[in-house]
Amino acid sequence: MRSYGMVFFVSAAAALSAASRPAVRTTPPASAQAALARLPLRFEANQGQFDPAIRYVARAGNYNLLFTAKGILFAVPGSAPVSLALANSNPQALIEPLDPLAGRTDYFIGRRRQNWHTGVANYGRIRYRSVYPGVDLVYYGSHNLLEYDFVVQPGADPSAIALQFEGTVQPQLSPEGDLVLENAGRKLLQHAPYIYQEDASGARHAVSGGYRLLADGSVKLRLGRYDHSKPLVIDPTIEYCTYIGGNGQDQVNAAKLLPNGLLYIVGQTDSGQIPYINGAYNNDYTGLIDVFLQILDTTPAGGFQQIYSSYIGGSSNDIPLGLDVDASGIFYVTGWTTSSDFPMAGNSYQTTGGATNQGAFVFQLNPALYGGISLLYSSYLSGTTGADGATGIAVDANQNMYMVGTAESSDFPVSLNAFQSALWGTSDVFIAEMNPNTGSLIYSSYVGGEDEDFGENILLSANNLVYFTASTFSTEFAMAGYQYSASPFGGEDAILGVMDLTQQGLATLKYSTYFGGAENDAVSGLAFDPNGNAIMTGYTISPNFPVTPDAVQSTYAGDTDAWVAVINPNLPFTYGLLYSSYLGGNGGDAGTWVTSDASGDIYVAGYTLSPNFPVTGNAVQGAWPGGTNTFVTELVRGTSGSKGLVFSTYIGGTSDYMPTSLAVTANGSTLFVVGYGGIGLPTSPASYQGGYAGGISDGFVLVIGGLPSPATTPDGRPVIRKGNSRPTTSKNSQ
| Structure confidence by residue, pLDDT tens digits, 240-250 | 788 899 999 99
- Mean pLDDT calculated for residue range 612-634: 92
Asked if 510 contacts 481 with a C-beta cutoff of 8 angstroms, the reply is yes
**Residue partners of 719: CB distance under 8 A and separation at least 6:** 599, 710, 711, 712, 713
Cα-atom radius of gyration of the chain, to the nearest Å?
27
Give pLDDT, residue 231. 61
- Highest mean pLDDT among 1-10, 116-125, 257-266, 714-723 belongs to 257-266
CA distance 47 to 40: 21
State phi, psi for 114 to the nearest 5 degrees.
-65, -15
CA 164, CA 85: separation in Å to the nearest integer? 5
Kind of pairing, strands 534-540 and 521-528? antiparallel
Distance separating alpha carbons of residues 56 and 66, to the nearest angstrom: 6
pLDDT at 727: 28
Calculate mean pLDDT across residues 313-341: 96
In which band, very low, low, confident or very high, does the pLDDT at 703 lie, cut at 50, 70 and 90?
A: very high
| Average pLDDT of the segment spanning 311-328 | 96
The pLDDT tens digits for 164-203 are: 887 667 788 877 677 777 765 556 666 666 666 666 655 5
Please count the CA atoms within 13 angstroms of the CA of 63 that sit on its side-chain side.
26
Q: Within a 10 A sphere around the Cβ of 419, how many other Cβ atoms?
A: 24
Count of helix runs (H) and strand runs (E) in the chain = 1, 49
In eight-state DSSP terms, residue 159 is G
pLDDT value, residue 718: 42
> How many residues appear in the chain?
734
Whether the Cβ atoms of residue 196 and residue 206 lie closer than 8 Å to each other: yes
> What is the average pLDDT score of the chain?
84
Residue 216 pLDDT level (bands cut at 50, 70, 90): confident
Report the distance separating Cα 181 and Cα 636, nearest Å: 31
Given this model, what pLDDT does residue 399 score?
A: 97
115 against 517, higher pLDDT: 517
CA atoms in the 13 A half-sphere facing the CB of 333: 32
Averaged pLDDT, 101-107: 74
The reported pLDDT for the residue numbered 198 is 62
Question: How distant, in Å, are the alpha carbons of 122, 460, 550, 710 from that of 718?
Answer: 46, 23, 22, 7
- Provide the whole-model pTM: 0.74
Q: HSE (CB half, 13 Å, CA atoms) of 104?
A: 8
C-alpha span between 63 and 230 (Å, rounded): 38
What are the φ/ψ torsions at residue 199 (nearest 5 degrees)? -90, -175
Q: Quick one: average pLDDT of 239-260?
A: 91
Strand order in the sheet with 509-515: 453-460, 466-472, 493-499, 509-515
Report the alpha-carbon distance of residue 703 to residue 669 in Å, rounded.
Answer: 11
Burial 698-726 (b: 16+ CB within 10 A, else e): bbbbbbbbbbbbbebeeeeebebbebeee
For the range 133-138, what are the long-range contacts, defined as Cβ-Cβ under 8 Å and sequence gap of 24 or more? 133/157, 133/160, 135/160, 135/161, 136/4, 137/86, 137/93, 138/98
Q: Give the confidence band of 395 by pLDDT, cuts at 50, 70, 90.
A: very high
Q: What is the pLDDT of residue 278?
A: 80
According to DSSP, residue 371 is labeled G
